[in-house]
Chain A
Amino acid sequence: MSAAALIATSAVVLAGCSASDTGGEAADLTTVSIMAPYLVTNAPSGDNEIHTALEEIAGVTLDITWVPNSSYLDKTNITLAGDDIPHVMVVQGKDPGFVRNAQAGAFWELSEYLPDYPNLATTLPEVQKAASINGEVYGVFRARDGMRAAVILRKDWLQNLGLEVPKTTDDLYEVAKAFTQNDPDGNGADDTYGLIIPKWPGAIGSNSPYDVIETWHGAGNRWTERDGELVPSFTTDEWLEAVDYEKRLVDEGLVNPDYATFDSANWNEPFLNGKGGIIIDVHSRAGVLMSLLKESDPDSFQNYVEITGNLEGPDGVLHAHPTTGYSGFLAIPKTNVRTEAELRAVLEVLNNMNSTEAGALLNNGIEGTTYTLDGDLAVAVDSAPQALKDAVLSYSQLGTNVTGFQGYLPKQPTEYEQEMYDKRKAIEESDLESAEYDPAAAFVSKTYVSKGAQLDTIIADARIQYIAGQIDRDGLTDAIALWRSSGGDAVIAEINELASQNN
């Protein structure tokens, strides 16, 4: 580490002498290979307009291997075990496999290098820290909105019952109760419920409606600080209080009864069909709901969706539930980027790829072809070829935006949607001030890497079992004790040790 730091420091000094604005000697690299996931049906073809334009900005030939998102994790590990390793790899998160590889020395540690590159020197240092492994930066993170949590409600139901948009968790309970019991659709039948909660694919701390409600109650966000020590949220009294609140919603029938098995892919349906009236998820789902409603009911679609942000807890304080602020990173494996000069060459390319010019290309596509500008907003061109529209979505996977969002925000198709979009942005901005961040986000404990998924499942299952009435309060406490004895205590000790080393 000290040797690396020394080299890095001398590189910075050299940079000062050589008058190069990106610092250090960069090797001559004509082709940069990149591995990235694509989330649409087809991978972009190799010679599309976006690719050509991006190569021009990057200054090198780009050899991109597109891998379907569903098999991306497998492909990452297979690639790392083989010989043909790209210069740059999109890594989708700090999953245990990545951590093991990184700690075995598979990737360049970048914290000493990034400040030399104006477009890679992040303006969001806390996000870069959260994306690091115990402070070691193994990639250029891909920035995401810091605040997305939202409550989406049936606007017509609120109006029919003369209810206000909820501001606190108590309000939410009252609205859910009224939506269930007071016939909000006025059809004279008892056929509605309040909250729609799906079966959640992840365990605890995976932004499920449960997690969000618990953060609102002041239980923290995955981890929280109590008496100077970092502890998991579910060891707090506020967490138990929040789970009791969730149980009350379920017990009183204010939630869809199949919450333990309801497929999250169908989450929108009860809302659209007028069965359930509240979704706790992210703001973008409101946009999806509005466009679905617009398709089926273009004349009055503006009457159904209401949004609000995070809710105040019973303590009267707003504990907003933020995102991690990033979605994986661009990591540089050491196998094919062997020298520091080569690393600098690759970083220069990444620096070019996060310029304002590249940002518009990666996020919006090609002006005049996929979008036109209306002031600062991008208006999507509907007649653009589908392959090119899909390509924009794929190439956006390469965007990092570590110095703030580099593209143009989309202009909404109707005035009402624009109004809702602006409202969303305003809510996100004000909620961000009350964000409850995960104080342990940067820390990766050894025990958690080997047992984390199992440990998390213990708690997530016990939570649902308690809510369903399969176990009582003692059973829930037993599960937490089991979590502790199965390795949880070691995780707590390791996280706190890492925290004290890193402060």
Chain B
Amino acid sequence: MVALDTAVAASTALDTRPPARRRGARAHFTQFKWLYLLLLPGAIYFALFRYGPMYGAVIAFKDYVPFLGINDSPWVGWAHFEDFFASPDFPRLLANTLILALLSLLVAFPLTIVVALLLNELRVTMVKRSVQTLIYIPHFLSWTVVASLTYLLFALDIGPLFQLINGVLGTNIDFLTDPGWFRPIIVLQDIWKNTGWGTIIFLAALAGVDQEQYEAAIIDGAGRFQRVWHITIPSIMPTIIVMLVLQMGQVLNTGFEQIYLMTNALNRSVADVFDTYVYFMGITQGSYSYSTAVGLFKAIVGVVLIFGANWLARRFNQTGIF
């Protein structure tokens, strides 16, 4: 705290001098040395725990054997990437991953906004608070619990939802093994677990909307939906865009646990995604190099998508994240 005060005092005291950059880097650092010192712990943290371990990613280009270590394992160049792109698994994994990602982007993401808007329209604080708390709870359950609940609800012949849905439709669908039902169930689980929690950031944005605009709109005779459409949504658009851009970076992260727990021999054809494949190849099969190559590919796609979405956002005159 003392350091912060000193730094702030130093920078304000020096404000009358000419801009630092004109007098070269050295003077700049001298001028802002306390601020840079403040930055140091964060920088060291990132260098040590975020960038440091990235060194390990070189094993994607090596034939890594734990006994030989990272340095002594032989180089193989792009061989693992070539194997991966040429393997029959690749198109299937890509398709499964993208479909799940798109479903989550098109269904789960807008739903979060809708729920936030609905909550925002609630006028009785007690009700609003209670509903919020209730829909946050699933976020704190682990995927293992969610999967167990799903198995109980949809259990063949005896699960309540199995009986209800099949009873109403007059069908005999085994939701847990039918490949056609795998994706809907994954998305439903995702919505059930994460929608409530996801509304927090939008509710924060909604709290910041200028109330006078509403008053003006009411005087102009705007109805509830018109107010939401013409004031609320445009006001929180920057937040929506930022969340969307961040979401794009996570597109290929479909969530290992959830999918792994819901996979079985009968639905594997639609369930295999990059995350489960990396686990399967890396841990069960001991192909550390190969699975690192797959993981690296996934990360690069994520970065490209973030920059792409950001670029698009700026093009359409919205604020991006950088």
Contact = CB atoms under 8 A, between A and B. Distances in A.
Contact of B264 (A73, A100, A261, A454): A261
A97 interface: yes
Q: Which of A80, A101, A261, A468 has the most CB of B within 10 A?
A: A261
A104 B65 contact: yes
A229 interface: no
Interface in B222-251: none
Given A464-B265, A464-B266, A468-B266, A261 B283 contact: no
Interface string B58-88: 0000000111111000000000000000001
Interface string B163-181: 0000000000010110100
A460 B265 contact: yes
A335 to B, nearest CB: 8
B283 A454 contact: no
B284 to A, nearest CB: 5
B210 interface: no
B319 interface: no
B298 interface: no
Contact of B286 (A96, A105, A482): A96
A289 B233 CA distance: 62
Contacts of B29: none
A432 B183 CA distance: 47
A19 interface: no
A260 B156 CA distance: 11
Given A80-B66, A101-B67, A104-B65, A260 B89 contact: no
Interface in B265-289: 265-266, 268-269, 280-281, 283-288
A455 to B, nearest CB: 10
B66 A101 contact: yes
Nearest to A200: B265
A260 B285 contact: no
Interface string A229-245: 00000000000000000
B151 interface: yes
A101 B268 CA distance: 31
Interface in A393-445: none
A465 B280 contact: no
A386 interface: no
B153 interface: no
B155 interface: yes
B157 interface: yes
A457 interface: yes
Interface string A28-51: 000000000000000000000000
Given A101-B67, A261-B176, A452 B265 contact: no
A104 B266 contact: no
Interface residues on A, range: 35 or more
Interface string A350-392: 0000000000000000000000000000000000000000000
Contact of B66 (A78, A452, A468, A482): A78
B65 to A, nearest CB: 4
A264 to B, nearest CB: 12
A461 B265 contact: yes
Given A261-B151, A486-B88, A81 B285 contact: no
A48 B265 CA distance: 45
Interface in A233-263: 257-258, 260-261, 263
B89 A73 contact: no
Nearest to A450: B287
Interface residues of B, number: 30
B85 to A, nearest CB: 15
B285 A454 contact: yes
A100 B65 contact: yes
Nearest to A199: B264
Contacts of A199: 264-265
Contact of A453 (B65, B177, B285): B285
A465 B66 contact: no
Given A260-B266, A450-B287, A453-B280, A97 B89 contact: no
Contacts of A452: 285
B67 A257 contact: no
Given A77-B66, A104-B68, A96 B265 contact: no
Contacts of A257: 156-157
A460 B177 CA distance: 15
B86 to A, nearest CB: 11
Interface in A132-168: none
A290 B125 CA distance: 59
A74 interface: yes
B224 to A, nearest CB: 46
Contacts of A100: 65-66, 286
Contacts of B176: 258, 260-261
B264 A96 contact: no
A274 to B, nearest CB: 16
B311 to A, nearest CB: 37
Nearest to B286: A97
Given A260-B177, A453-B280, A468-B266, A95 B286 contact: yes
A419 to B, nearest CB: 37
Contacts of B288: 77
Interface of A: 73-74, 77-78, 80-81, 95-98, 100-101, 104-106, 199, 257-258, 260-261, 263, 333, 335, 450-454, 457, 460-461, 463-465, 468, 470, 482, 486
List of 8 A-B pairs having minimum Cβ-Cβ separation, nearest first: A97-B286, A106-B67, A464-B265, A81-B66, A96-B286, A80-B66, A258-B156, A101-B67
18 contacts: A80-B66, A81-B67, A100-B286, A101-B66, A105-B67, A257-B156, A258-B155, A261-B151, A261-B177, A333-B67, A452-B285, A460-B265, A461-B265, A461-B269, A464-B265, A465-B266, A468-B177, A486-B88
